[in-house]
Amino acid sequence: MQVSSVGIVGGGAWGTALAQTLALAGRNVVLWAYEPDTIREINEHHLNRNYLPGVSLEPGIRATGKMADIAAQDVVLLVPPAQNLRAVASELSPHFSAGRPAVICAKGIERSSGKLMGDVLAEALPGALPAILSGPSFAADVARGLPAAVTLACADEEIGRSLAEGLGYRNLRIYWSSDAIGVQLGGAIKNVLAIAAGIVDGKQLGASAHAALIARGFAELRRLGEAMGARSETLMGLSGLGDLILTCGSPKSRNMSLGRALGEGQNLEAILGQRRAVTEGIYTAEAVSRLASKFDVQMPICQAVLDIVSGEITIDAAIESLLTRPMKSEI
Ligand SMILES: NC(=O)c1ccc[n+]([C@@H]2O[C@H](COP(=O)([O-])OP(=O)(O)OC[C@H]3O[C@@H](n4cnc5c(N)ncnc54)[C@H](O)[C@@H]3O)[C@@H](O)[C@H]2O)c1
Ligand SMILES: O=P(O)(O)OC[C@H](O)CO
């Protein structure tokens, strides 16, 4: 597949970082942004200070508010917050020709329906050939050209391969996979677990507790993944364990830093009031809880995150409840 032009929906940190990478790789890039101010700033000053401060954007990146401009490109990347995917894909739909690829780059599960992003896309943009791009990648790192490696999943492996080759770049290595469920679950659930890891940090529970949280959190991802048909090598790979380690381990993560602030005693509304950026784990926690019930799997850490962010339980009570669970086999 020839990828000489790319349309990107979402002018936040990640959409802008991908635009920068693809422009540096020689692609024509058109970037749809939600706010008129963001469109103006990218076109007039080659900056996106609200979402990706400190990065001078390639002058060839053209920002737009028109979905028709996006649909005209060879490949479309969908990079909105997960809870907005349905709305932006529906807006794109009248302009989009059937059979063309649409690569979902959002990490989350729809809160209102419990659906994975690929299922939301199938309803909102039914003619698209869906793929998922996910893996350990901070926008600020990728936009500065630091090396990163991610996974692109597509049910048709040949198309996945050509998309990975068409979108990849020296410092953004893209591995392909046909396991769309595994790639989506890893990217969504790591955000919930990163809030928990941040709480452990903010509460100063120590490095041993932090490691235990990652390992037991991964056990929850693996359990749900197995129940939903994900492959274990996907869950162990870049989009699963790889992204879990990155996001739980760095306060550069919005999810981890939110958890840390909660653990330090700050109030959720006050933290969210100070940020423009999306913290996906808050919204995905509810959807994960629904999936855990539906597939009858135990996910006590994810459930504790939901109970904390929905105000059902205090952090101290959640920690007490996790630590007093009966001893059990490790599986
Ligand atoms: N930032 C990263 O490092 C990174 C890396 C990989 C994946 N992602 C994923 O990419 C997705 C987008 O995150 P981000 O970091 O680019 O966003 P961001 O937090 O930088 O910005 C929020 C975005 O939401 C948009 N927005 C707000 N209201 C909207 C609406 N009603 N409809 C459509 N868009 C709206 C804003 O215009 C902005 O583009 C998320 O799912 C995130 O998990 C982010
Ligand atoms: O800042 P976060 O927590 O949204 O994480 C960003 C990326 O998903 C890391 O891979």
Active site residue 190: yes
Above pLDDT 90, what percent of the chain? 98
For the CA of 280, the nearest atom of ligand 2: 4
- Residue 105: the pLDDT is 99
What is the Cα–Cα distance from 239 to 191, expressed in whole angstroms? Answer: 12
Q: Side-chain half-sphere of 192: how many Cα atoms within 13 Å?
A: 32
7 lines ligand 1 (CB under 6 A): no
106 lines ligand 1 (CB under 6 A): yes
pLDDT at 2 over 90: no
Answer yes or no: is 139 a known binding residue. yes
| Angle of the 180-202 helix axis to the 207-228 helix axis, nearest 10 | 160
**In this structure, which CATH number among 3.40.50.11540, 3.40.50.300, 3.90.850.10, 3.40.50.720 belongs to the domain 5-178?**
3.40.50.720
Q: C-alpha distances in angstroms, 290 versus 80, 115, 286, 327? A: 23, 10, 6, 25
Answer yes or no: is 190 a known binding residue. yes
88 lines ligand 1 (CB under 6 A): yes
- Residue 331: the pLDDT is 83
Question: Could you tell me which of 71, 52, 96 has the C-alpha nearest to residue 8?
Answer: 71
- Do 64 and 26 form a contact (C-beta atoms < 8 A)? no
| Local structure of residue 97 (DSSP, 8 states) | P
ipTM above 0.95, yes or no: yes
**52 CA from centroid of ligand 1 (Å):** 11
Query: What order of strands is seen across the sheet that includes strand 28-32?
Result: 62-64, 28-32, 5-9, 75-78, 101-104, 129-134, 148-153, 172-177
Q: Are strands 5-9 and 75-78 parallel, antiparallel or unpaired?
A: parallel
pLDDT at 130 over 90: yes
**21 CA from centroid of ligand 1 (Å):** 17
What is the Cα–Cα distance from 177 to 196, expressed in whole angstroms? Answer: 29
Dump pLDDT digits (tens) for 209-238.
999 999 999 999 999 999 999 999 999 999
**81 CA from centroid of ligand 1 (Å):** 4
Look over the chain and give the mean of its residue pLDDT values, rounded to a whole number: 97
Dump pLDDT digits (tens) for 29-47.
999 999 999 999 999 999 9
- The band of 322, judged by pLDDT with boundaries at 50, 70 and 90, is very high
Best probe residue, ligand 2, of 137, 142, 146, 191 (max atoms within 8 Å of C-beta): 191
- The band of 302, judged by pLDDT with boundaries at 50, 70 and 90, is very high
pTM score: 0.98
- Look at the chain and count its residues: 331
In the chain, where does DSSP find H-type helix? 13-24, 36-45, 67-71, 85-92, 117-124, 139-143, 157-167, 180-202, 207-228, 232-235, 243-249, 254-263, 268-273, 280-294, 300-309, 315-323
Dump pLDDT digits (tens) for 131-185.
999 999 999 999 999 999 999 999 999 999 999 999 999 999 999 999 999 999 9
Domain ranges of the chain: 5-178, 189-323
- Residue 1: the pLDDT is 81
Closest Cα to atom 4 of ligand 2: 254
- The band of 263, judged by pLDDT with boundaries at 50, 70 and 90, is very high
- The band of 282, judged by pLDDT with boundaries at 50, 70 and 90, is very high
**255 CA from centroid of ligand 2 (Å):** 7
What sign has the CA pseudo-torsion 81, 82, 84, 85? Answer: positive
Question: Could you tell me which of 146, 231, 134, 264 has the C-alpha nearest to residue 190?
Answer: 134
**134 CA from centroid of ligand 2 (Å):** 10
- What residues form DSSP beta bridges with 64? 32
Backbone angles phi, psi at 271, to 5 degrees: -65, -45
Q: Which H, E and C letters describe 219-261, residue by residue?
A: HHHHHHHHHHCCCHHHHCCHHHHHHHHHHHHCCCCHHHHHHHH
Fold type of domain 189-323:
N-(1-d-carboxylethyl)-l-norvaline Dehydrogenase; domain 2 (1.10.1040)
- Of these residues, 115, 190, 203, 328, which one is catalytic? 190
Report the SS3 class of residue 58: coil
- Residue 219: the pLDDT is 98
Closest Cα to atom 5 of ligand 2: 253
Report the SS3 class of residue 92: helix
Q: What is the mean pLDDT of the segment spanning 185-202? A: 98
Best probe residue, ligand 1, of 14, 18, 141, 151 (max atoms within 8 Å of C-beta): 14
Residues with CB under 6 A from ligand 2: 107, 136-138, 191, 194, 243, 246-247, 253-255, 280
Any idea what the Cα angle at residue 135 is, between residues 181 and 155, rounded to 5°?
35
Answer yes or no: is 14 a known binding residue. yes
